[in-house]
Amino acid sequence: MESEKTTTTTIPAETNGDRAGGHAHRQSPEHGHPGHTPVLATAGTGRRIAVAAALVAVGLAAVYVFGLRVRHDDTAKLQAAARESASLPPAVQVVRVRRATPRTLLALPGEARALYETTIYARTNGYLSKWLVDMGDRVKQGQVLATIETPELDDQMAAAQAKVAQEQSGIELAQANANFAKLSYQRWESAAPEGAVSAQDRDQKKAELDTSVAKLSAAKAQLKLAQADVQRLQTLIGFKSVLAPFDGTITERHVDIGELVTAGSTSSTTPLFSIARSDQIRVFVDVPQGASPEIKLGMTAEATAAEHPGRKFAGKVDRTADSIDPVSRTLRVEVLVPNADLSLKPGMYLQVEFQTDRRDPPLEIPASALNMRPSGPEAAIIAADGTVRFQPITIARDMGDYIEVSSGLSDGQTVALNITSDVEEGERVTPREVQTPAAQPAPPVPKSTTAMRASSSSAGGVVTPTSGVDEAPRTAAPSAKRAG
């Protein structure tokens, strides 16, 4: 029996396009051309996709709900904290009042001036024939700076010398007349006892002798007068050479060759030169009244200049005015600074530091604890129970970051920093003590003009130096706002 043949049809593997269209292409053996036969998906695939999508949606919803819950809880906590803070007294930063350091560095601005400085004028009339030095030249004492031609003075000198010669001739003539008168009188005097001459003639000869002697004395006096005039003219001729009065530097030349010069130093007289000696510099400093007791003669001081960074010029207090200026309430102090290399120039702006030791240093508070009120400076004292009391104080010295107080506070008291205008007298606050570094000496004042600020204290307005330009009155910064 003939065995049965089984025909096997092979379905091609699915392609990407087939999966996308849901059909598989297969080859029809009978017709020899491709046909489309639908192929069904695996059972359960769609159900698994739906379940996965549902799980993702549930997870997202859970995360969203959890986030809303957390946000709601945080908001509730913040609101509760705000309500709790609103019910508490406002918090303020406080510090303890303390003594200033016994040794302090007092830094003040100063003005440099030459040891000697003068303007040279002509002592005789004429015109400038030549100048031998100019601005910036260093000269020695007695060195000729310029020469002046004086033709009129030369003529006067010639006339005076002729006058002296004339007076000398007059003396010789008077001397001869006096000798003759004396001889004649002696002859008449010897003949008078014998009766050869009368007494009248003898007395006349005596008068002639006395007259000739007097004329001789007058001639000698006239000679001395003429000689004095010559000496005066010689002195003026000596001023034809303009000499340096001391060792120094010519700072300015005011005239040129051929210019007419006039003796004198009036406002209408043209000066010749300006000269200064600056191997030593005088530095003038105005010390505030509050610091004036600390300045002693002979105490050391150090000067600094912005033009010489890092260099300090040591000096000593040479003298003081020993009197307080009633306008600025300052003591004028002169510091003598050696300047052998002439690094410091007259007229320079300097910063002078005085190292002072105080037996009884005043109290000090940070500058932020100062409150300027219409009635004067005050400090907000915090009592043990947290109540605020505004206490008037007297400023001894403004050190920049710190204020030295002479009255109104006690050592160890608690004062508030940056107190606001919202806090009133007697109000309760929450003090929070902060640590402040030890007060340091005030830094050098900039080259701009240093302002002197008068405090509004009841002690009469102590003038204190401030760094830089004029500052507005210190007011409390709004940093202690009530919570909520």
Residues 138 and 202 in one domain: yes
CA gap 392, 457 in Å, rounded: 8
Indicate whether 282 belongs to any domain: yes
Residue 482 makes CB contacts below 8 A (sequence gap 6+) with: 86, 90, 422
Q: Of the candidates 190, 223, 243, which is a domain's last residue?
A: 243
Long-range (24+ apart) CB contacts under 8 A made by 447-456 are 447/306, 447/349, 450/108, 450/109, 452/286, 452/288, 452/328, 452/330, 453/398, 454/329, 455/376, 455/377, 455/394, 455/395, 455/398, 456/372, 456/375, 456/376, 456/377
Nearest to 317 by CA among 292, 302, 297, 337: 297
Select the more confidently predicted residue: 311 or 102.
311
DSSP string, 151-215: HHHHHHHHHHHHHHHHHHHHHHHHHHHHHHHHHHHHHHHHHTTTTSS-HHHHHHHHHHHHHHHHH
Look up the CATH number of the domain holding residue 335: 2.40.30.170
CB 461 within 8 A of CB 328: no
At residue 79, the pLDDT reads 78
Per-residue confidence at 71, pLDDT binned at 50, 70, 90? confident
Look up the CATH number of the domain holding residue 378: 2.40.420.20
Indicate whether 4 belongs to any domain: no
At residue 44, the pLDDT reads 67
Per-residue confidence at 208, pLDDT binned at 50, 70, 90? confident
Is residue 294's pLDDT more than 50? yes
Stretch 323-333: mean pLDDT: 94
Per-residue confidence at 458, pLDDT binned at 50, 70, 90? very low
Stretch 164-193: mean pLDDT: 84
CA gap 394, 409 in Å, rounded: 9
Residues 344 and 399 in one domain: no
Is residue 304's pLDDT more than 90? yes
Average pLDDT, the chain: 79
Residues 369 and 414 in one domain: yes
> 81-95, 142-156, 343-357, 448-462: which range is least confident on average?
448-462
Cβ-based burial of 263 (10 A; exposed 0-12, middle 13-18, buried ≥19) = middle
Domain count, the chain: 3
Is residue 177's pLDDT more than 90? no
Is residue 307's pLDDT more than 60? yes
Q: How many residues does the chain have?
A: 484
Which DSSP symbol is given to 61? Answer: H
Digit-coded pLDDT (tens) for 222-267: 999 999 999 999 988 989 999 999 999 999 999 999 999 988 888 8
Percentage of the chain lying above the pLDDT 70 cut: 79
Indicate whether 248 belongs to any domain: no
CA gap 422, 90 in Å, rounded: 10
| Residue indicated by tokens 């000067």 | 303
At residue 475, the pLDDT reads 34
At residue 386, the pLDDT reads 87
> 405-414, 425-434, 461-470: which range is least confident on average?
461-470
- Locate the DSSP E strands across 289-362: 300-304, 313-324, 330-338, 349-357
Residues 286 and 367 in one domain: no
Residues 311 and 398 in one domain: no
Residue 203: which domain range?
120-243
Per-residue confidence at 279, pLDDT binned at 50, 70, 90? very high
At residue 373, the pLDDT reads 86
Q: Of the candidates 310, 340, 357, which is a domain's last residue?
A: 357
Q: Of the candidates 243, 269, 285, which is a domain's last residue?
A: 243
At residue 42, the pLDDT reads 56
Q: Give the angle 65-68-73 at the CA atoms, nearest 5°.
A: 125
CA gap 223, 225 in Å, rounded: 5
At residue 87, the pLDDT reads 62
Residues 345 and 284 in one domain: yes
Residues 296 and 234 in one domain: no
Residues 349 and 399 in one domain: no
Per-residue confidence at 15, pLDDT binned at 50, 70, 90? very low
Residues 382 and 454 in one domain: yes
Select the more confidently predicted residue: 217 or 188.
217
SS3 204: helix
At residue 67, the pLDDT reads 82
In angstroms, the Cα distances linking 389 to 381, 392, 410 are 5, 10, 14
Residues 135 and 235 in one domain: yes
Indicate whether 55 belongs to any domain: no
Is residue 432's pLDDT more than 50? yes
CB 372 within 8 A of CB 456: yes
Indicate whether 37 belongs to any domain: no
Is residue 19's pLDDT more than 80? no
Indicate whether 42 belongs to any domain: no
Count the Cβ atoms, other than its own, within 10 Å of residue 45.
9
28 φ/ψ angles, rounded to the nearest 5 degrees: -80, 120
> 9-23, 84-98, 247-261, 443-457: which range is least confident on average?
443-457
Is residue 443's pLDDT more than 50? no
Select the more confidently predicted residue: 260 or 199.
260
Residues 349 and 380 in one domain: no
Is residue 105's pLDDT more than 50? yes
CB 459 within 8 A of CB 102: no
Select the more confidently predicted residue: 338 or 209.
338
Select the more confidently predicted residue: 248 or 183.
248
Per-residue confidence at 438, pLDDT binned at 50, 70, 90? low
Select the more confidently predicted residue: 413 or 447.
413
Q: Is the pTM of this model over 0.75?
A: no
Stretch 437-461: mean pLDDT: 40
> 197-201, 432-436, 461-465: which range is least confident on average?
461-465
Indicate whether 480 belongs to any domain: no
Residues 131 and 192 in one domain: yes
Pairing of strands 248-253, 138-139: antiparallel
Indicate whether 216 belongs to any domain: yes
Is residue 193's pLDDT more than 60? yes
